[in-house]
Amino acid sequence: MATRTCPEVLPEVTHATDSVSEPDSGYLVICWDDPVNLMDYVTHVFQVVFGWDKKKAKKHMLEVHNEGKSLLTRENLEKAEFYVHELQKYTLNATLERETP
Amino acid sequence: MKFLRCEGEDFYLEFTSEEKDVLQLLLSFYPLVPATYHRLTQDAQQPKREENQQLLDEALAAQREQNGKAIRALLSEPGRFTETAEASQGRFGRGDLEWLLQVVNDVRVGSWIAQGSPGYEKKKGRPAKAKLRHALYMELAGAFEMFFLGVINGDVPPETPE
């Protein structure tokens, strides 16, 4: 039986993620669909940036692909800007939008 | 492209001379995505929109500068690549592969933009020569991305166990 001989390398979680998905923080971080970023790549980026497991990252990736966008997290302005910057570093099509009541 | 083995935190990858030439060519295009491509928000009414956009632009520009330096260091670092008769073996840390992913994807997306940002639908007819070149770069960048992703995520097993 083949076994892994390399260290288990998972995306590093370098950011505080406790507040990810907490409601009513005012700003929505949204990833928009495009026909160029590869599905596996988008999944990987979500894992790295948000520290999500593969299942959750893939769920959001499929939302982007099938529905045109995915709401990734609600944050205050500063944190939302941080996440948008991190996603754009990977050339994903991400923006922040004010949450409307 | 081959994933040879892991040693500690380092990944050893092998490229044929042609593959290495292609990778170097793609890296030489970086950055290819226009600096004005990314927008912070689609909301024209957002307070301090321009000010915050400028901060984002500056942060991304700094990141590009850092990636550019990393590319030059990667290609010139002694001992990074070991040449054999038929191939080139390179040593990469996880962080190296992570920013290589960013860089190669920038070239992929930039090549797509250079083609006029085509949609999902396939257009009939023969594409213009210039667009064909960018289409090729986009596909090649995608191939390197999938390889790096496979190595990072453990989907590609090493050829030589540790």
pLDDT in tens, B27-80: 999 999 999 899 999 888 887 888 889 999 999 999 999 999 988 888 888 888
User: pTM score, two decimals?
Assistant: 0.86
Nearest-Cα distance to chain A for B76, in Å, is 24
Distance CA A17, CA A25 (A): 14
Nearest Cα of chain A lies from the Cα of B83 at a distance, in angstroms, of 24
From residue A60, alpha-carbon distances to A53, B46, B96 in Å are 11, 25, 26
CA A44/CA B123 separation, integer angstroms:
30
Q: How far is B112 from chain A (nearest CA, A)?
A: 7
Q: B107 to chain A: which residues are within 8 Å by CB?
A: none
| pLDDT tens-place string over residues A45-82 | 999 999 999 999 999 999 999 999 999 999 999 999 99
Backbone angles phi, psi at B37, to 5 degrees: -70, -40
Q: Do A96 and B40 touch (CB under 8 A)?
A: yes
Is cis: bond before B31, omega within 30 of 0? yes
Q: Which residues of chain B make contact with A12, given a CB cutoff of 8 A?
A: 94
- What does the pLDDT read at residue B162? 52
Give the number of other CB atoms < 10 A from CB of residue A55.
Answer: 8
Rounded Cα–Cα distance for residues B92 and B138 (Å):
23
pLDDT at B9: 87
Query: How high is the ipTM of this complex?
Result: 0.90
CB pair distance less than 8 Å for B145 and A5: no
Residue position matching structure tokens 């050893």: B12
Reading the block at residue A1, the tokens are: 């039986």
